[in-house]
Amino acid sequence: MIELRFHGRGGQGTVVGTIIMAKAFFKAGFEVQSFPVFGVERRGAPVESYVRLDNSKINLRTNVTTPDHVVVQDRTLLQNIDITRGLKPGGWILINAPANDKDKNRYASFRVAFIDASRIALNYKLGTRTHPIVNTAMIGALARVLEMPPLEAVAEAIREDIFIRTEDNIKAAEEAYRTVLL
């Protein structure tokens, strides 16, 4: 079983991102689970959401405490949250930011990948100028980092769940898939 933890802020589409990712994995033949950190959502506050995937039925119904990989949708979270909490050694940390040595060195015991998802979201006019919705770019990048699910599955899942600027969201995922820095 593989467990993914997404960190974001309320309003960035973090929970929706994990749901779409779970659906994409399901389309690729996996059994999946997705759920947010159980609580009360507030705009701008730190949010966590999870994906579990496995080749067989998932019976574990608890919070995710030891994720295999972590996605950080908002770099400002690195200052106040330990995004490596429980992260398995060697796991990926995918950060929404231009590549930089500072983050890379800070998380040297893990594998760090960068995607400038905010720039991509702004280019495709996803969300507003001050609050770009980066979730589709992040999951496009994650599909490349994990080498699964196939990009087509991600696109199909986006098409099913996102009804506003659907094609632009798919393009954002595709661009992120191509440009993520591993």
Partner 1 sequence: MRRVIEGSQAVAEAVRLSGVQVVSAYPITPQTHIVETISDYCEKGEINATFMRMEGEQSCLAALIGAQAMGVRTFTATSSQGLAYMHELLHWASAARLPIVMAEVNRALAPGWNIWTDQTDSLAQRDTGWVQIYCEEGQEVLDSTLIAYRLAEKVNLPVMIVLDAFFLSHTYEPVDIPDEDEAHRFLPPYKPQFRITTADPRSYGALVTPADYMEMRYDISLAMNDVFLQLDDIHAEFSSIFGRTYGPVEALNCEDAEIILLTSGTITSTSRLVVEKLRKQGEKIGLLKARLFRPFPVDAFRNNLKKARKVAVIDRNCSFGAGGIFAQELKAALCNDDVKPLIYSYIAGLGGRDVTPDVIEDIYWKTKSADTPEQESVWIGLKEVSHGR
> Which residues would be at the binding site for partner 1 (CB under 8 A)?
19, 22-23, 26, 31-36, 38, 40, 58-63
Q: Return d(Cα 144, Cα 182) in angstroms, integer.
A: 9
Query: Tokens at residue 120, please?
Result: 């991509």
* Min CB(14)–partner 1 separation in Å: 14
Which is nearer to partner 1, 38 or 105 (by Cβ)? 38
* Min CB(138)–partner 1 separation in Å: 18
Which is nearer to partner 1, 54 or 168 (by Cβ)? 54
Angstrom CA distances, 77 to 10, 14, 48, 82, 96, stand at 12, 13, 11, 8, 11
* Min CB(112)–partner 1 separation in Å: 28
Q: Return d(Cα 16, Cα 12) in angstroms, integer.
A: 9
Angstrom CA distances, 118 to 35, 71, 87, 152, stand at 24, 14, 24, 22
Which is nearer to partner 1, 35 or 123 (by Cβ)? 35
Which is nearer to partner 1, 30 or 110 (by Cβ)? 30
Beta bridge partners of 15: none
* Min CB(42)–partner 1 separation in Å: 13
Phi-psi category of residue 130: left, alpha or beta, with phi > 0 → left and psi -120 to 50 → alpha: alpha
Which is nearer to partner 1, 38 or 82 (by Cβ)? 38
Q: Return d(Cα 168, Cα 174) in angstroms, integer.
A: 10
* Min CB(38)–partner 1 separation in Å: 4
